[in-house]
Chain A
Amino acid sequence: MRERGRELTIVAALAMLSGYLSLTQANFRDAFTISTILTNAAYVAVVGIGMTIVIVAGQIDISVGSMLAVCALITGTLARAGVPMPLVVLASLLLGLGMGALNGALVAYLRVPSIIVTLATLTVLRGAIVWWTKGYWVMPLPPGWKVLGTTHLLGLPLPVWIGWAAVLAASILLAHTVFGREIYAAGSHPQAAQLNGIDTARVTFWVFALNGLLVGLATMLHVTRFSMVQTQEGLGLEFLVITAVVVGGTNIFGGSGTVMGTYLGVLLLTVTSSALTFLGISATWDQAIRGAFILVAVTADIVRTGQWRQPVGWA
């Protein structure tokens, strides 16, 4: 909301990084690489949209990776049982919505802190997956499985287009609707929001439900590109997504942030990852670079707002 500085900084960083790679690495320029980067970014971005909304509302959801794994394994199993793909997609969305609603209900109506609720669902769901699959991958999958993930439209895979549509829709939701305004109000100042007649519990509940729905969508964009579903699907996804959200300029304490910033954050992380591959640098550096991005982004914020002048522990 309101500030475009972060977005411009990331665009500049992306331009420099891609420019350098295009000039030095002939392969980077080809359509396949660009398409791969955008496709890899698409599902992370869709989870990132939900995470941005949750964080703007003053909450957090670290169970997204586990939710994605549950959606992936159950939809894979359904597809193998012969359920038609449109129904499989619908099942993924509803499953996500249901799990998100459970998180939301616990946070909004029982007032359990969201970090605790989603830490619990992260662990419980991940455990349930191991118990249920006993570690076996779901395969082989029927031929229709990969239609969504591999169909191209105007030269780009469908997931890329769907991801862009989701970014656009969520940006409009946050900037131009009553619900969006209520999310910012609840995240900036819950007490004031309530005194203005905003039902903050209702807002919180729907924010988590929407996040679950988006995880359901992201699952479909992701898993339909491959011929099997692995049990460790989505492991550590929450770290990647929260990194992208913070790098994208969303205030981790709630109240401000944009979906576009998050999308750019996801792109930056994805391009960085593939840059390492191109430059022949070990992938283990990827983690370190992500950590560095967070530090740079947050430090820049703190310097800009003059917060570092305040005593430690001063929120």
Chain B
Amino acid sequence: MTEALLQLRGITKRFPGVLALDGVDFALTAGEVHALVGENGAGKSTLIKIISGVHQPDAGRIDYLGTPVTFPTPRAAADRGITVIYQEVALFPDLTVLENLYVGAYPRRPLLRHSGRGRRVDWMAMRARAQDVAASLGVKLDLEAPVHRLSAAQQQLVEIARALLRDARVIIMDEPTGPLTQQDAARLFSLIRQLRSRGVGIIYISHRLEEIFEVADRLTVLRDGRRIVAMPVGETTREMLIHHMVGRTLDTLYPHTARQTGPPVLEVEGLGTSGALTDVSFTLGRGEILGLAGLVGSGRTTLARAIFGIVPPGRGRIKLDGVDARIAHAGRARELGIAYVPEERQRQGLVLPFSVSENLSLVILRRLSRLGFINHASERTVAHDVVRRLDIRTPGIGVPAATLSGGNQQKVVVGKWLAAQPRVLIMDEPTRGVDVGAKAEIHRLMSELAGRGLAILLISSELPELLGMSDRIMVMHRGRIAGELSRDQATQEKIMAMATGVA
């Protein structure tokens, strides 16, 4: 083993009421991709924040490039070559790619030639260096484009290029594939391999275990603020890894139960919206989980929103239990028994400052009220009931939803709609950013609900999830249904072929 680029020993960090890290050791060597795995709340974020100077450890030492260091601020860490690429892209949307690449560190040149000190932003030098970096990565960057016009993948590229322009030795990537399509993710992985061959040390965080096996060399598992194990990826299996992460064995990963699909509940005929959807037709039966695959931008979310009445449908018909449904707005969809668990639950699904019980009752307020007055007793009863049924871990039903972990927030969003007893449940990326344990629980819940006759439309970018959970998989490409596969026929390759328009 080569000498460590970054070595942490006995790192302890305490927050009011929580021991976030308890004597954690961590070592990163140059040219290594080191995965950091663990459930939400295991201490990954805290560890990263200590490495990048956001937090200071209460105990322990950090050696970087062979000498003991402290990073009092994120800037101090960044100046020494430690860069974090967060899940949420941290770029300035209205500035150009070039401006973003150098924000905070514009190279200067003298105002007038030979006038000594640098004053003026040196655009020529910036452009030249940026082009060198892009070329060395084998990618194209439109330096003059404003960042908001770039795709998620291109924006990430800008962040990576920015790190390299500042001579980053350590790059930390927090859930980098979250917003990416399968193709873009593959491209990112080859980029990561290139960075590795240049001797950059990469700390890679992801909930998607298959990515870790694909891209990482070593991994460290954290659980409850402690390091459980650190080893080469080759020496472990998916099952062992999950066991380390959750401290118990999860019975089945995708609990698909054999079910009989009943008569159609939702029938969509020739649905079209200006631009985004063209002639979409399908049926969804009682007790069926219909998977909806497709690349980002293929129209999956637009389809969900059109059915839920948020995107006005231009053409086509929607029938519920054989009856024509005119869904002019979301309130109508709700009355008709359609439930929608949107992607990005933080931004869309929950009212974060509202308490758990206020969130849970939001869609059934009318049922819980008389003459417009809310019956607080029944509101509490419903909330307690949902919290118990879905095993939502919360200190109480009165705490703000914002304080719950990602998995439990997702359960609140799902639970809210279950309380409304819908006929059709649309779930858009229901397990994105949710840890392994909560993910398994959400999957178990879906199977249970389908078993009780609920019709579920599952939108997911995670193919193993789609293959594992769905009775049938429909693939979208450029706003159209590109094809449909039965559970037995479906493979990742066939889905990707349809999704990319090859098939």
Contact = CB atoms under 8 A, between A and B. Distances in A.
Interface of A: 2, 176-179, 181-182, 184-185, 188-189, 191-199, 255-256
Name which of A2, A176, A189, A195 has the most chain B CB atoms within 10 A of its CB.
A195
Given A191-B348, A199-B329, A199-B331, A177 B310 contact: no
A38 B231 CA distance: 73
A178 B329 contact: no
Nearest to B398: A2
Contact of A177 (B335, B340, B353, B369): B369
> How big is chain B's contact interface, by range?
20 to 34
Contacts of A192: 347-351
A178 B374 contact: yes
B353 A256 contact: yes
B55 to A, nearest CB: 13
B372 A197 contact: no
B351 A197 contact: no
A197 B373 contact: no
Nearest to B400: A2
B348 A198 contact: no
Contact of B351 (A176, A179, A189, A199): A189
Nearest to B341: A195
A195 B330 contact: yes
A195 B354 contact: no
B130 interface: no
7 contacts: A177-B369, A178-B369, A192-B349, A195-B330, A195-B340, A196-B334, A196-B416
Nearest to B366: A178
In order of increasing CB-CB distance, the 9 nearest A-B pairs are A197-B334, A197-B331, A197-B330, A189-B351, A196-B362, A178-B365, A177-B372, A192-B351, A188-B353
Interface string B353-392: 1110010001101100100111010000000000000000
Contacts of A177: 369, 372-374
B349 A178 contact: no
A179 B351 CA distance: 16
B352 to A, nearest CB: 7
A121 B55 CA distance: 50
Nearest to A179: B372
Given A181-B365, A192-B350, A197-B333, 13 more contacts: A176-B376, A177-B372, A178-B366, A181-B362, A182-B365, A189-B351, A191-B348, A194-B310, A194-B330, A196-B362, A197-B335, A198-B362, A199-B331
Contact of A195 (B310, B355, B372): B310
B31 interface: no
Contact of B342 (A185, A189, A193, A195): A195
Contacts of A197: 329-331, 333-335, 363
B343 to A, nearest CB: 11
Interface of B: 308, 310, 329-331, 333-335, 340, 342, 347-355, 358, 362-363, 365-366, 369, 372-374, 376, 416
Name which of B334, B349, B354, B372 has the most chain A CB atoms within 10 A of its CB.
B354
A269 B351 CA distance: 33
A278 B135 CA distance: 77
Contacts of B348: 191-192, 195
Contact of A185 (B308, B354, B373): B354
Contacts of B354: 184-185, 188
A191 B330 contact: no
Contacts of A2: 355
Nearest to A256: B353
A189 B331 CA distance: 16
Contact of B352 (A178, A182, A188, A195): A188
Nearest to A194: B330
Contact of B358 (A181, A194, A195, A199): A181
Contact of A255 (B308, B335, B350, B353): B353
Contacts of A179: 372
Contacts of A193: 351
Name which of B329, B350, B351, B366 has the most chain A CB atoms within 10 A of its CB.
B351
Contacts of B329: 197, 199
A176 B347 contact: no
Contacts of A178: 365-366, 369, 372-374
Nearest to A181: B365
Nearest to A255: B353
Contacts of A196: 330, 334, 351, 362-363, 416
A48 B333 CA distance: 36
